[in-house]
Structure 1
């Protein structure tokens, strides 16, 4: 659900009594967690601490949203078809993603040496994924978190898995180009390597292209690395990891 629409949009009947609590939760996460993380990122890049806070606020120009997900155990036939992968390796198109830790494992991240590693559950912890927008803004100094969802380990396989995930995105009219005022970005100079033809897309163009192609409606082509497939979406070379 979009941050601005929690109290006004139609929701399923069982959810409605909890909307005030969900709204307060979303505002707390945005103001006290997201904004502080964005300030830290801006300061590490040598920018004014409010630089990214302004670009990622919850105004009408931004598509920030909170998601509740429940995964159920799947038939063995489906697991074999997907090789136990529920969502193949990818990066999020947003600025940052918050994943509130829960006890049934399924999330994995790709390490620097190209191996998948389980994300350990810690009570009351939050997993923070860097998204593509921050990678572009930082000229590659911060890199998007490559992650996937797969079948839980044997001892958790028959339990449903509940996820609470909060995505924050820049305003739709923001161009996803490196912030050249940053001394670190000037030295990195990596921000345009994934752009198609050197043209810098807006957040709206990139976001809509990623959302519309969710599920792989467009044919993928082999990437330069083994096990990586790529496609051009919204002016960006998007990579998928098998």
Structure 2
């Protein structure tokens, strides 16, 4: 991938890595350079199956994003997230777009469900507004940023879909048709930051930046970042830390793919917590890509997969509530399949607060899709 000169944007200085002895999870690494050879691709497909059916998370190397492009994107992400709050306002999502589920621009300052210290800037791959305005420092670099977005979609995601087809023993065209370019209105690229919480906010939120949850879509792709805060619910029932590995992608499965595979590929429960003591005062800047199926795609198990049929995963997880992608995201916004999974945190009335479920109108399920039994909307 081509690089670009970046004179107008300050160089991002990554925080020092933690020296704390954390309980890290041991994730399968997928080396995408194996994809090019037909024989090693088969090996990669087996690793893909293992990683995402057992852990739901994997690290990814051999992805083709150069260090120069990676560093430039981190420079841009940091410059975007450290803008003066007043300068961000013209680029916030409008109330009208927010109601339509258009995930674009900065989040509304003080919006429901997030600490005020959390902020993000979303860029849609298929933006209905052709003359979308972006912050001035980003404008000269937006074309190159779009190339990165499209590379993730058209190269990295495409490889994931083909590996999934191999794992399910169905034609790759069947998988690729579920993610046709331009057919998702909610597939986006995100710059995000977590500013240090005050001691009082940390206490009230039980040490959580983001509660335990599962993502909505098919694949969530994160640029690994040096400030440790991401934790994954291990199959042992314990939350484990994700270790920082430079220039490595971290990928997880979302609920849409869980529905599409009858629970064989489970959406992984994860959360964002207060960083370890030697990083607790660092700004955590990240880059994310959220993959979604086509808007009109019905989220049911793939037909004609001998693997799903053999394993008994060819039946809908919730036969009473079938959604396409747009309908599912709307239901998720209001609390469908969004249980409280932070079972290991104290909750004293009058002491702790939970801003994360504000605005929910659907009754939450007891548990999470295939991970536990599904309960329909009340």
Q: TM-score, normalised by structure 1?
A: 0.86
Going from structure 1 to structure 2, the CA distance change for 1:109 and 1:127 (only over 3 Å counts) comes to same
Unpaired runs of at least 5, structure 1: 238-242
Deviations 1:98-135 (A, max 9, x none): 00101111111111111111111111100011111111
Taking the aligned partners of 2:260 and 2:365, their CA distance within structure 1 comes to 27
RMSD: 2.7
Do residues 130 (structure 1) and 272 (structure 2) align?
no
The aligned counterpart of 1:104 is 227
Measure, in 1, the Cα distance between the counterparts of 2:268 and 2:248: 17
1:207 corresponds, among 322, 329, 341, to 329
Aligned to 1:218: 360
SS in 2 for 1:109: strand
Name the larger-Rg structure.
2
Q: What corresponds to 1:10 in structure 2?
A: 133
Tell me which of 20, 25, 30 is aligned to 2:148: 25
Q: How does 1:229-240 map to 2 (within 5 A)?
A: none
Change (3 A) 1:116 1:72: same
1:154 aligns with 2:287: no
What is residue 75 of structure 1 aligned with on the other side?
Answer: 198
Once the two structures are superposed, what CA deviation does each residue of 1:35-64 show, in whole Å capped at 9, x if it has no partner?
Answer: 101110111001112322221133144421
| 8 Å contact kept, 2:334–2:360 | no
Per-residue displacement from partner, 1:4-55 (whole Å, max 9, x unpaired)?
Answer: 2397422222322220111011011111211101110111001112322221
Deviation at 1:162, TM superposition (A): 0.5
What are the within-5 Å matches in structure 2 for residues 32-181 of structure 1? 32-181=155-304
Q: 1:169 Cα deviation (Å)?
A: 0.3
- Distance in 2 (alpha carbons) for counterparts of 1:63 and 1:198: 25
Distance 1:167 1:44, change over 3 A: same
The aligned length equals 232
CA distance in 2, matches of 1:40, 1:236: 33
**1:236 CA displacement:** 7.0
Contact 2:262 2:315 in 1 (8 A): yes
C-alpha distance in structure 2 between counterparts of 1:159 and 1:42, whole Å: 41
* Mapped partners of 1:7, 1:18: distance in 2: 17
SS in 1 for 2:290: strand
Residues 180/61 of structure 1: CA separation in 2 closer, same or farther (3 Å cut): same
Distance 1:194 1:86, change over 3 A: farther
Q: Distance in 2 between matches of 1:24 and 1:165?
A: 15
**Which residue in 1 is equivalent to 2:55?**
none
